[in-house]
Each structure stands twice: as structure tokens, then as C-alpha cells.
């Protein structure tokens, strides 16, 4: 599950894209729109919790797990002032350690609760505004 950390930001984004592109055009009800939004946020929460539990069991809470996605800018090798050879790259990686696990937990829980609150807050709005909001 630790290798699927990329799902945590992708799932809510996918829910927003689905609601934004097809929510109004397909004539979805408010319940369907809310379900798609809550599913994206809820699945991100579940993925985050599963990744934290898997990380804590597999490598321990003092270890660091880095999921390297891709190298964004391969700038090549350079020599430092001390004469050492350094490989300069800018990578897109997802890191899971004890601090990021705590932040991952709180951010995904609060994000899910914001979605739940928003469903109740927007219940009196028209269906087109509802889909556009989510």
C-alpha cells in the first residue's frame, strides 16, 4: 500500500473532475454528485490510513519510506567547492515518515469532514450550482 501513496492526492482530484465535467451535463441528482465527491475524499482517507498502518507495520515508525514517482529535471552532474561530484536532479517523490504520517492523517480526516459539512451546507442550492461546487 505504501507504493500507492500517489492515490491520495489523485482520488479527490478525480472526483472533482468527474463532477465538474459530467455532473451538470448528465443531469445527476444532488445525491449522485455528493456521492462522487464523498467517495473521492473518503477513498483518499482510507488509502492514507491504510498506507500509515502498512508503513508502521512493515518498516517501523522510525523509518522513512520514499516513493519516487519520476525525475522532473535531470540537471546532470556538477563538482562542488570541495571537489565532490554531485548529481543534481529535481524529483517528484512522496515521502512517508512519522511527521508526514501525522499530517497525512489530520489533513485527510479534516478534508473528508469538510466534504461532509459541504454536503449539508449546499442542500438548498440548485442542482447545477451543487455539481459546480463539488
Compute CA distances 46 → 43, 64, 78, 87, 104, whole Å.
5, 21, 42, 37, 11
Domain ranges of the chain: 2-66+97-133
Task: Classify residue 15 by burial, with Cβ atoms within 10 Å: 0-12, 13-18, 19+.
Answer: buried
Task: List the pLDDT tens digit at each of the 134 positions of the chain.
Answer: 667 889 999 999 999 898 888 877 777 788 888 898 999 999 999 999 999 998 888 877 778 888 888 888 877 777 667 766 677 788 888 888 899 999 999 999 999 999 999 988 888 877 667 777 77
Closest listed residue to residue 78, CA positions, set 89, 67, 70:
89
- Show the beta-strand stretches assigned E in the chain: 65-79, 85-96
CA angle 68/41/63 to nearest 5° reads 35
Q: Considering the entire predicted model, what is its pTM?
A: 0.80
Distance, in Å, from the CA atom of 14 to the CA atom of 36, rounded to the nearest integer, reads: 9
Amino acid at each position: 500500500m505504501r507504493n500507492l501513496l500517489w492515490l491520495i492526492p489523485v482520488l479527490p482530484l478525480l472526483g472533482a473532475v468527474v463532477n465538474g465535467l459530467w455532473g451538470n451535463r448528465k443531469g445527476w441528482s444532488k445525491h449522485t454528485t455528493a456521492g462522487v465527491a464523498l467517495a473521492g475524499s473518503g477513498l483518499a482517507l482510507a488509502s492514507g490510513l491504510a498506507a500509515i498502518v502498512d508503513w508502521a507495520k512493515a518498516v517501523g515508525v522510525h523509518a522513512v519510506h520514499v516513493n519516487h514517482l519520476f525525475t522532473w529535471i535531470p540537471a546532470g552532474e556538477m563538482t562542488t567547492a570541495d571537489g565532490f561530484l554531485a548529481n543534481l536532479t529535481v524529483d517528484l517523490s512522496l515521502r512517508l515518515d512519522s511527521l508526514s504520517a501525522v499530517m497525512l492523517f489530520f489533513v485527510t480526516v479534516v478534508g473528508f469532514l469538510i466534504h461532509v459539512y459541504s454536503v449539508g451546507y449546499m442542500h438548498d442550492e440548485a442542482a447545477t450550482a451543487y455539481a459546480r461546487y463539488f
